[in-house]
A and B are shown apart, each in its own frame.
Chain A
Amino acid sequence: GQSLEQPSEVTAVEGAIVQINCTYQTSGFYGLSWYQQHDGGAPTFLSYNALDGLEETGRFSSFLSRSDSYGYLLLQELQMKDSASYFCAVHGSGNTGKLIFGQGTTLQVKP
């Protein structure tokens, strides 16, 4: 079976840094992605890690440890517009583009 775990809710203030963790248990693994979804909208791609280490894209960074089946998304200099749901997603073996999503973390940024 496949399962991904991430916290259901996180609250932080503007300008702060927040880390959203994701642990996974999958029968096959090719990489870990993160997506952002605002209410009523489509998910948008944030980052992708296939190898261990940190990937940085502007205010967002993502980390992967394959040996620990663990990754995290780091959001810096939080802005109100960052309030959204964040999903980690596992790419299964075979790299077909098929994604299995975690339950999502709702981030609320307060003034």
Chain B
Amino acid sequence: GAVVSQHPSWVICKSGTSVKIECRSLDFQATTMFWYRQFPKQSLMLMATSNEGSKATYEQGVEKDKFLINHASLTLSTLTVTSAHPEDSSFYICSAPNQNTEAFFGQGTRLTVV
């Protein structure tokens, strides 16, 4: 099956700093990728749709200035958590659809803000 690689798998950062998370489709092109956030024991909440070559589409309640998304190529989308605070600590995970029926997920990034 298709492979989506997400990096880093975990990161600890200080409050007020920014963190960039990368999501790469390794063996297929993804014009669209999706970013989710998951708190412990909870569901995956869609944050935004990353569109190659255009602006991301954010879900209601997600601050676009805080969660910057860039999709500069057909194989790479990045999520930058700006001015991170402890409440941003979560599991962030990207996905890319393959033929739109099956989503391939990255390994996820566990962000801890101290």
Contacts and interface: CB of A to CB of B under 8 A. Distances in A.
B59 to A, nearest CB: 10
A100 B103 CA distance: 12
B104 to A, nearest CB: 8
Interface in A86-111: 87, 91, 95-104, 106
Contacts of B97: 96-97
Interface in B22-68: 32, 34, 36, 41-46, 49
B34 A99 contact: yes
Given A33-B102, A42-B105, A48-B101, A98 B44 contact: no
A25 interface: no
Interface string A55-97: 0000000000000000000000000000000010001000111
A45 B103 contact: yes
Interface in B70-114: 93, 95-97, 100-108, 110
Contact of A31 (B34, B101, B108): B101
B1 to A, nearest CB: 8
Given A97-B34, A101-B44, A43 B101 contact: no
6 contacts: A45-B103, A91-B101, A96-B100, A98-B49, A103-B42, A106-B41
Interface of B: 32, 34, 36, 41-46, 49, 93, 95-97, 100-108, 110
